[in-house]
Amino acid sequence: MNDIKKFNYTDILGWSVSRYNRFLNCKRQYFYEYYAKFDKDMPIEKIQFLKSLTFKALETGNITHDIIKDMLKRYQVSTKPINKDKFFKYSLNMTEKRCSSKTFFEHYYNGDIILTSEIYAKVKNILENFLNSPRFAWFEKNATTTSSEWIIEPDGFGETRINNLKAFCKVDFLFPIADKIYIIDWKTGKVDEKKHSRQLIGYSTWANYHFGKSAIDIVPVIVYLYPQYNELSVKINDYSITEFKNSLADETKDMYEYLADIEKNVPKDKQEFKMTGNTFLCKYCNYKEICFENKL
Ligand code: SF4
pLDDT, tens digit, 9 for 90 and up, residues 160-185: 999 899 999 888 999 888 889 999 99
Give the DSSP H or E segment for 126: helix 116-131
Q: Which one has a higher pLDDT value, 139 or 201?
A: 201
Query: What's the whole-number mean pLDDT along residues 7-13?
Result: 95
Q: Where are the beta strands (DSSP E) in the chain?
A: 151-152, 159-162, 165-168, 173-177, 180-187, 218-224, 230-233, 259-261, 266-267
Q: Residue 270 C-alpha to ligand 1 middle, in angstroms?
A: 13
Ligand 1 binding pocket includes 28 (Cβ within 6 Å) = yes
Q: Residue 292 C-alpha to ligand 1 middle, in angstroms?
A: 8
Ligand 1 binding pocket includes 26 (Cβ within 6 Å) = yes
pLDDT confidence of residue 295: 52
pLDDT confidence of residue 145: 81
Q: What is the mean pLDDT of the chain?
A: 92
Ligand 1 binding pocket includes 270 (Cβ within 6 Å) = no
Q: Hey, is 104 helix, strand or coil? A: strand
**Strands 173-177 vs 165-168: parallel, antiparallel or unpaired:** unpaired
Confidence of residue 2 (pLDDT cuts 50, 70, 90): low
Domain covering 146-257: architecture: 3-Layer(aba) Sandwich (3.40)
Q: Which one has a higher pLDDT value, 55 or 199?
A: 55
Kindly report the number of other CB atoms within 10 A of residue 83's CB atom. Answer: 10
Kindly report the number of other CB atoms within 10 A of residue 16's CB atom. Answer: 19
Query: What's the whole-number mean pLDDT along residues 81-96?
Result: 96
Q: Does 296 score more than 60 pLDDT?
A: no
AA letter at 296? L
Query: What's the whole-number mean pLDDT along residues 205-220?
Result: 89
Percent of the chain scoring above 90 in pLDDT: 70
AA letter at 191? V
Q: Which one has a higher pLDDT value, 234 or 85?
A: 85
Ligand 1 binding pocket includes 291 (Cβ within 6 Å) = yes
pLDDT tens string 215-273 = 899 999 999 999 999 999 888 888 888 999 999 999 999 999 999 999 999 999 999 99
Peptide bond into 81 cis (omega under 30): no
Report the half-sphere exposure of 149 (CA within 13 A, side-chain side). Answer: 15
What is the rounded distance in angstroms from the CA atom of residue 16 to the CA atom of residue 19? Answer: 5
What is the rounded distance in angstroms from the CA atom of residue 70 to the CA atom of residue 73? Answer: 5
What is the rounded distance in angstroms from the CA atom of residue 190 to the CA atom of residue 205? Answer: 24
225 contacts 187 by C-beta, under 8 angstroms: yes
158-to-45, 111, 153, 173 alpha-carbon distances in Å: 27, 36, 8, 12
Q: Does 113 score more than 70 pLDDT?
A: yes
Kindly state the DSSP code that residue 277 receives in the 8-state scheme: S
pTM across the whole model: 0.92
Query: What's the whole-number mean pLDDT along residues 284-290?
Result: 96
Please state the length of the chain: 296
Report the half-sphere exposure of 26 (CA within 13 A, side-chain side). Answer: 19
